[in-house]
């Protein structure tokens, strides 16, 4: 079942040629068709390639069940930020043009095997999935939607961290999004965090780490500080599997690592427990 309708979606982690995808883990050349049919998982080595937010939504939600919310939100360059390579404002336009996205997250509601949920799915193609004001706003609003309508909340993270171009507004999104999660906790609503490759910096250090259940995919990079920064700081080599999902699992920060093919059913299974508790007794 080739489930990606938009074949021009960019795969950030794979070198693309006309008919082949080269796996960035094992370098195998795989027919594009086969690669996508296998949900961007390398059929040779099992490497989980990156997905766009639309691919992820297609993977997780029942067909046609997704309704997007706050789709119009986009960055507005509040700092008039200019760096060595140009104006943030211009990069915003270019990125919107190139990706067809308006922010680094898509949010809304939908169904997982007929069970209604609120969702937020990040997209690494939009400024490295960084946490802009719009990103935080959409994640908070989706949390509030879950709060208002008593829905489970699922966030799929994919982010390099803060969005420097928005300065302190970006940092503040960490507190802002966590405030949304905190309110869900008060109402005892479930929050499942899916940390996909990569989830780092200000995103791993805020909502992504706070799931009732934290899950990831094999091999995903999950980090607070960057590997290079750490090596410079401590002047020693790091473990080979450092900051992989497997490392995080071993160190107690992930509840489970799930194969992409099983992700939807596994989330659904977990939510059946929530639903049971909800209806079970007072």
Which residues from 139-198 bind another protein, rule CB under 8 A? 140, 162-176, 178-179, 181-183, 185-186, 188, 190
Q: Which of 20, 65, 68, 253 binds another protein (CB under 8 A)?
A: 253
Nearer of residues 42 and 200 to another protein, judged by Cβ: 200
Nearer of residues 43 and 100 to another protein, judged by Cβ: 100
Structure tokens, 32 = 């594009």
State how far the Cα of 13 lies from the Cα of 10, in Å rounded to an integer. Answer: 9
Instruction: Identify the residue whose tokens are 């309110």.
Output: 183
216 binds, among another protein, Zn ion, none (CB under 5 to 8 A by kind): none
Residue 42 and residue 23 in contact, taking contact as beta carbons nearer than 8 Å = yes
Residue 69 and residue 160 in contact, taking contact as beta carbons nearer than 8 Å = no
DSSP output for 161-198: SB-GGGHHHHHHHHHHHHHHHHHHHHTT--EEEEEEEE
94 binds, among Zn ion, another protein, none (CB under 5 to 8 A by kind): none
Q: Which of 9, 14, 54, 137 binds another protein (CB under 8 A)?
A: 137
256 binds, among Zn ion, another protein, none (CB under 5 to 8 A by kind): another protein
Q: Which of 75, 110, 129, 198 binds another protein (CB under 8 A)?
A: 75
Report strand pairing: 15-16 vs 20-22: antiparallel
264 binds, among another protein, Zn ion, none (CB under 5 to 8 A by kind): none
Residue 239 and residue 266 in contact, taking contact as beta carbons nearer than 8 Å = no
State how far the Cα of 227 lies from the Cα of 242, in Å rounded to an integer. Answer: 9
238 binds, among another protein, Zn ion, none (CB under 5 to 8 A by kind): another protein
- Residue 249 touches another protein, criterion: CB under 8 A: yes
Nearer of residues 40 and 104 to another protein, judged by Cβ: 104
Binding positions for another protein, 96-135, rule CB under 8 A:
103, 132-134
Number of C-beta neighbours around residue 23 at 10 A: 23
């Amino acid at each position: 079942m080739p489930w990606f309708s938009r074949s021009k979606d960019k795969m950030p982690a794979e070198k693309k040629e006309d008919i082949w995808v080269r796996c960035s883990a094992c370098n195998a050349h795989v027919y594009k068709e086969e690669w996508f049919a296998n949900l961007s998982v390398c059929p040779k080595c099992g490497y989980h390639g990156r997905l766009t937010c639309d691919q992820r939504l297609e993977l997780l939600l029942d067909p046609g069940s997704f309704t997007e919310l706050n789709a119009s939100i986009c960055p507005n360059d509040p700092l008039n930020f200019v760096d060595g390579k140009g104006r943030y404002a211009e990069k915003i336009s270019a990125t919107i043009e190139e990706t067809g996205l308006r922010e680094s997250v898509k949010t809304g509601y939908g169904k997982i095997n007929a069970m209604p949920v609120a969702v937020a799915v990040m997209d690494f193609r939009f400024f490295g999935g960084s946490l802009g004001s719009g990103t935080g706003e959409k994640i908070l609003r989706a949390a509030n939607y879950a709060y208002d309508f008593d829905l489970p909340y699922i966030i799929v993270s994919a982010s390099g961290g803060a969005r420097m171009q928005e300065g302190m507004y970006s940092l503040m999104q960490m507190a802002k999004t966590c405030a949304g999660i905190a309110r869900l906790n008060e109402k005892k609503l479930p929050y499942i965090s899916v940390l996909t490759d990569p989830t780092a910096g200000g995103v791993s250090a805020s909502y992504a780490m706070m799931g009732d259940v934290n899950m990831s995919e094999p091999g995903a990079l999950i980090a607070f500080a960057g590997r290079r920064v750490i090596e410079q700081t401590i002047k020693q080599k790091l473990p080979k599997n450092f900051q992989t999902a497997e490392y995080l699992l071993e160190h107690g920060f992930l509840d489970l690592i799930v194969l992409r093919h099983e992700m939807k059913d596994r989330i659904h299974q977990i939510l059946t427990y929530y639903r049971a508790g909800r209806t079970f007794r007072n």
